[in-house]
């Protein structure tokens, strides 16, 4: 397939980055499940799978193209990609600004782990350009964005914050896991790096743990030899092979996730047993306009607060037939999790999570079945 700037998402996901002539015309690429590449008869450009691997490179080419980036590198988890991205930009005694509702382990990495190297963090609440601006110090090296953010889906003005960052020589990284490259492309808004947990929608089948980092070629070449090769958190070829399979249906899956989620969010927002819904696709979301400006669509992770006795949350979960209880999201299945229940008020305040918050992921089941299920279970409140 020819490469050009105007490739459609579906065409990238199906054929882009694959050279059928090199692999006997096989429509599904082979799995190069090997540690090393020999070179007595000449090198093919590969040496060791911690550095590069032909199967992994197919998935990397597709994701780079989807994100309008020059290059991408796959990691063994989202956290491996994120910590590599953060370490790339920081030095001893650097300062970072991020939202307080950033994904918990990232919060811990920045706020606790990196403090041993003198790294300081400012957590802002609403993620506005003004808040980021007010937080700048002489040693600020990085604005770490996650838009929309975890659990409460605070949307950050990617273009505005990036512009401000450039004026001050500060780098920008965006976690784009929630929106996926189908619905949001931060590199087009000027950011330096995009990261994803591949374990969510990009994998989509709840059978891959992985991460990816996308940036320009110069940055990626540096990362290949430093943060990825030295920390060693590289995706294994079998996971990459599964990921190529997953990417082929990414646009289709996202379309269905969006359609299902919009209906569920609407249903919940009108339900008498629900006091508040957090979902960027609802016009009632406080940053709905900004979301419309920088995203082309919405995925299917949302949260809500039930109206009624929170002691009934366990009974609510037990009564659900279509929702399993568990962490993670972005797979084919509907899931429920309770970040706002059973945690101290102080901790919740720190993480920007309101008490009683229930998070749901809307899967690819029939949407009427999902809504009926929620409706009958909400009766417990």
Ligand X SMILES: Cc1ncc(COP(=O)(O)O)c(C=O)c1O
Task: Work out whether 175 is an interface residue with ligand X (CB under 6 A).
Answer: yes
Task: Compute how many residues bind ligand X; rule: CB under 6 A.
Answer: 13
Letters for 254-293 (x = contact with ligand X by CB under 6 A, - = none) are: ----------------------------------------
Task: Work out whether 177 is an interface residue with ligand X (CB under 6 A).
Answer: yes
Go through the chain and tell me how many residues it has: 381
Task: Work out whether 197 is an interface residue with ligand X (CB under 6 A).
Answer: yes
**207 to 246, contacts with ligand X by CB under 6 A?**
209, 211
Q: How far is the CB of 202 from ligand X (least distance, A)?
A: 10
| Radius of gyration of the chain from its Cα atoms, rounded to whole angstroms | 21
At residue 359, φ and ψ (nearest 5 deg) are -105, 135
Cβ neighbours around 155 below 10 Å, total: 26
**75 to 94, contacts with ligand X by CB under 6 A?**
77-79
The residue of the chain with the least Cβ separation from ligand X equals 78
Helix (H) or strand (E) holding 142: strand 140-146
Q: How far is the CB of 92 from ligand X (least distance, A)?
A: 25
H helices present in the chain, as ranges? 9-14, 54-66, 78-89, 104-111, 129-135, 158-167, 180-183, 217-223, 229-231, 237-247, 250-269, 288-294, 313-319, 345-351, 367-378
Decide whether 76 or 377 has the Cβ nearer to ligand X: 76
Q: How far is Cα 203 from Cα 209, in angstroms, rounded to an integer?
A: 8
**108 to 147, contacts with ligand X by CB under 6 A?**
146
Task: Work out whether 14 is an interface residue with ligand X (CB under 6 A).
Answer: no
Q: How far is the CB of 50 from ligand X (least distance, A)?
A: 18
Q: How far is the CB of 290 from ligand X (least distance, A)?
A: 18
Q: Of 184, 244, 233, 176, nearest to 210 (Cα)? A: 233
The DSSP bridge pattern shows strands 274-278 and 301-306 to be antiparallel
Task: Work out whether 328 is an interface residue with ligand X (CB under 6 A).
Answer: yes
Q: Of 217, 225, 213, 180, nearest to 71 (Cα)? A: 217
Q: How far is the CB of 231 from ligand X (least distance, A)?
A: 14
Task: Work out whether 150 is an interface residue with ligand X (CB under 6 A).
Answer: yes
Q: How far is Cα 182 from Cα 154, in angstroms, rounded to an integer?
A: 19
Decide whether 140 or 150 has the Cβ nearer to ligand X: 150
Q: Which residues bind ligand X (CB under 6 A)?
A: 77-79, 103, 146, 150, 175, 177, 197, 199, 209, 211, 328
């Amino acid at each position: 397939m020819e490469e050009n700037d105007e490739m459609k998402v579906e065409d990238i996901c199906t054929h882009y980055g694959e050279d059928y002539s090199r692999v006997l015309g096989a429509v599904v690429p082979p799995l190069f499940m090997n540690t090393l590449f020999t070179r007595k008869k000449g090198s093919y450009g590969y040496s060791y799978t911690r550095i590069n691997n032909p199967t992994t490179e197919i998935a990397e080419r597709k994701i780079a193209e989807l994100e309008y980036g020059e290059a991408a590198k796959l990691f063994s988890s989202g956290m491996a990609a994120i910590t590599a991205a953060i370490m790339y930009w920081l030095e001893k005694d650097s300062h970072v600004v991020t939202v307080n509702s950033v994904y918990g382990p990232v919060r811990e990495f920045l706020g606790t782990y990196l403090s041993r190297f003198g790294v300081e963090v400012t957590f802002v609440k609403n993620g506005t350009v003004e808040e980021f601006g007010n937080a700048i110090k002489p040693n600020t090296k990085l604005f770490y964005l996650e838009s929309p953010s975890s659990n409460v889906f605070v949307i950050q003005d990617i273009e505005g914050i990036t512009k401000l960052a450039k004026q001050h020589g500060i780098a920008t990284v965006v976690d784009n896991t929630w929106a996926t490259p189908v619905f949001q492309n931060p590199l087009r808004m000027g950011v330096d790096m995009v990261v994803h947990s591949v374990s969510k929608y990009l994998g989509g089948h709840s059978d891959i743990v992985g991460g990816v980092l996308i940036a320009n070629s110069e940055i990626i070449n540096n990362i290949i030899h430093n943060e990825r090769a030295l920390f060693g958190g590289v995706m294994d070829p079998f996971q990459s092979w599964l990921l190529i399979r997953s990417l082929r249906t990414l646009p289709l899956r996202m379309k269905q996730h969006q359609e299902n989620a919009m209906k569920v969010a609407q249903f919940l927002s009108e339900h008498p047993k629900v006091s508040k819904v957090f979902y960027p696709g609802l016009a009632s979301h406080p940053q709905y306009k900004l979301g419309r400006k920088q995203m082309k669509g919405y995925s299917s992770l949302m949260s809500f607060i039930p109206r009624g006795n929170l002691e009934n949350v366990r009974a609510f979960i037990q009564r659900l037939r279509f929702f399993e209880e568990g962490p993670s999201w972005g797979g084919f299945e509907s899931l429920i999790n309770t970040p706002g229940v059973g945690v101290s008020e102080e901790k919740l305040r720190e993480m920007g999570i309101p008490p009683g918050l229930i998070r749901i992921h809307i899967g690819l089941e029939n949407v009427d079945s999902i809504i009926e299920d929620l409706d009958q279970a909400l009766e417990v409140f």
